[in-house]
């Protein structure tokens, strides 16, 4: 009787198929983790901008006006210039570097509400199933932001003046 050592072609194909399925599952999970990390960074940047806007409110008793392109007009020596790279008003620095994406565009949108008594900041995040999206939109509804025609998309994470 002859004993065969080794694997048959069918056994090898099954092992290769299983390894391929595992590779696809692992790579998909790693891509999702990268998206979640990017979204966490965007939320953190928006929270820092919210703090800067609250500092501005403490100094001027209103939030800055909305400038062109949904930025805010609160920079420069007299406080009427659109903020571009940093959020400074004369010698006061509220935020050293405004959050921008890799293309150099603002990652956020700013809306002044209720004649300067409130605001909405929104940012588009990649993970549409993030529960923070709906929570933020409930906490900061567009309907209470008087003076704007504000609408939220399905992937808009929102912060308000509180």
Asked whether residue 142 is domain-assigned, the answer is yes
Asked whether residue 108 is domain-assigned, the answer is yes
Domain that holds residue 42: 9-160
Asked whether residue 24 is domain-assigned, the answer is yes
Above 70 in pLDDT, residue 102? no
Residues 33-48 have a mean pLDDT of: 88
Q: What is the average pLDDT score of the chain?
A: 86
Asked whether residue 148 is domain-assigned, the answer is yes
CA 100 to chain centre: 10
Cβ(61)–Cβ(69) under 8 Å? no
Tokens of 90: 């004369």
Assign 97 a pLDDT band (cuts: 50, 70, 90): confident
How many distinct structural domains can be found in the chain?
A: 1
Asked whether residue 99 is domain-assigned, the answer is yes
Structure confidence by residue, pLDDT tens digits, 58-93: 998 999 888 766 677 788 777 788 887 888 887 888
Q: Report, in this order, helix, strand and coil percent for the chain, each rounded to 5.
A: 45, 20, 35
Q: What is residue 1's predicted lDDT score, i.e. its pLDDT? A: 62
pTM: 0.78
Cβ(57)–Cβ(161) under 8 Å? yes
Taking CB atoms within 8 Å and a gap of at least 24, the contacts of 133-141 are 133/157
Q: What is residue 70's predicted lDDT score, i.e. its pLDDT? A: 62
Asked whether residue 47 is domain-assigned, the answer is yes
Cβ(113)–Cβ(147) under 8 Å? yes
Residue with tokens 């062109």: 68
Asked whether residue 1 is domain-assigned, the answer is no
Q: What is the DSSP string of 4-52?
A: P-S--HHHHHHHHHHHHHHHHHHHHHHHHHHHHHHHHHHHHHHHHHHHH
């Amino acid at each position: 009787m002859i004993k065969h050592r080794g694997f048959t072609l069918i056994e090898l194909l099954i092992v290769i198929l299983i390894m391929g399925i595992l590779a696809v599952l692992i790579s998909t999970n790693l891509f999702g983790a990268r998206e979640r990390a990017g979204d966490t960074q965007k939320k953190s940047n928006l929270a820092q901008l919210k703090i800067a806007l609250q500092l501005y409110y403490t100094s001027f008793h209103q939030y800055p006006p909305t400038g062109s392109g949904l930025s805010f007009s609160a920079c420069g020596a007299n406080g009427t210039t659109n903020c571009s790279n940093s959020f400074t008003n004369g010698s006061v620095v509220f935020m050293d570097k405004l959050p921008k994406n890799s293309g150099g565009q603002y990652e956020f949108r700013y809306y002044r509400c209720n004649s300067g008594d409130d605001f909405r900041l929104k940012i588009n995040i990649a993970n549409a199933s993030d529960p923070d999206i709906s929570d933020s939109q409930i906490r900061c509804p567009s309907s209470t932001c008087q003076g704007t025609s504000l609408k939220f998309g399905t992937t808009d994470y929102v912060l308000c003046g509180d």
